[in-house]
Copies of this chain bind each other. A is one copy, B any other.
């Protein structure tokens, strides 16, 4: 997965910087643009299929949220970008999905890249790039495919309850990002479950043959999650310290709240990370313990029967003169001797706690 991500970047090799090329794999057939234009009094909601229809909202006095789905439609995105005076590098980064979370501060707008994490059909943790442009009175959001993580946000805007419609565009960006960050908790909870499952299976000794590989994959996975989440802390930090009219002072308290959530997630990730790294040690001791048990069985069996076999061998010899052979009770006495030896051995191993 991590490898794929890097391979994608390849498509652009040798291209001029600023070339706008979608590096992801998700192609939506049609561009799908969703517009919310609202203020405290009204809320207009539209679904568009060309970007041109969205141009008019730029100059509205109300707050506008334009959500673009389908990053493979690069020409449309370029048109929209030009209309909103976005820097070519912003457009390039929008569609190049291997970005790490970051914030670029331009004069008229902020450009924020975030990683949305979700659990895909094959039960792995997948990530999708979501980019935001926060300008005066508008937020543009760009997604690879129509997600549903924003559904609660849509509902809140429609209903106009709470602060949702009474505040500025910076607050809109906040609730959008908050929705993504809240989702991280589900992801790490899922990861925690996985780790505990592995712990249990290693502990009970019922590991399947791929455990070695699985732990390695888990390591890779948590490193990828870390990479998606950790830089976001710096992004939020930069938003909090941003000095312009784009971010109002009273909204910063809310960004601080996201920051606190991110720290919580980060701490959990680091704990899980240590747990994963410990799995290998745990597995190693389990193997050693098993070998110990195997060796004990061998040692007990061999230590008991090898001496007995030797004794039997003695009296299987064909010497002309072996006096014991001719006594009447030799055979019975020998059995008694051997049983005593057998029991002695058992007692010895019992005392050593091997049995």
Residues in chain A within 8 A of chain B (CB atoms): 2-3, 6-7, 9-10, 12-18, 87, 89, 92-93, 98-100, 102, 104, 151-152, 156, 161-164, 174-175, 178-179, 182-183, 185-186, 188-189, 192-193, 196, 199, 202-203, 210, 212-213, 216, 219-220, 223-224, 227, 253-254, 256-257, 260, 263-264, 267-268, 271, 274-275, 278, 280-292, 294-299, 301-303, 305-310, 312-326, 328-331, 334, 354
Rounded to whole Å, the gap between the CB of A348 and the closest CB of chain B is: 9
| B residues near A263, Cβ cutoff 8 Å | 100
Identify the closest chain B residue to A15 (Cβ).
B152
A280 and B281: CB pair below 8 A? Answer: yes
Most buried by B among A274, A303, A318, A330: A318
B292 and A302: CB pair below 8 A? Answer: no
A267 and B100: CB pair below 8 A? Answer: yes
Known pairs A6-B189, A320-B326; list 16 more (Cβ under 8 Å).
A2-B192, A6-B188, A6-B192, A7-B189, A9-B264, A13-B185, A16-B161, A203-B213, A219-B278, A298-B298, A299-B301, A312-B313, A312-B317, A319-B324, A319-B331, A319-B334
- Residue from B212, B220, B324 in contact with A271 in the complex, judged by beta carbons closer than 8 Å: B220
A150 to B199, CA, bound (A): 39
Rounded to whole Å, the gap between the CB of A258 and the closest CB of chain B is: 9
A309 to B7, CA, bound (A): 61
Identify the closest chain B residue to A10 (Cβ).
B185
A264 to B227, CA, bound (A): 9
Rounded to whole Å, the gap between the CB of A193 and the closest CB of chain B is: 7
Rounded to whole Å, the gap between the CB of A245 and the closest CB of chain B is: 21
A322 and B331: CB pair below 8 A? Answer: yes
A263 to B235, CA, bound (A): 15
B294 and A216: CB pair below 8 A? Answer: no
- Residue from B7, B15, B305 in contact with A310 in the complex, judged by beta carbons closer than 8 Å: B305
B313 and A102: CB pair below 8 A? Answer: no
Most buried by B among A16, A287, A329: A16
A18 to B166, CA, bound (A): 15
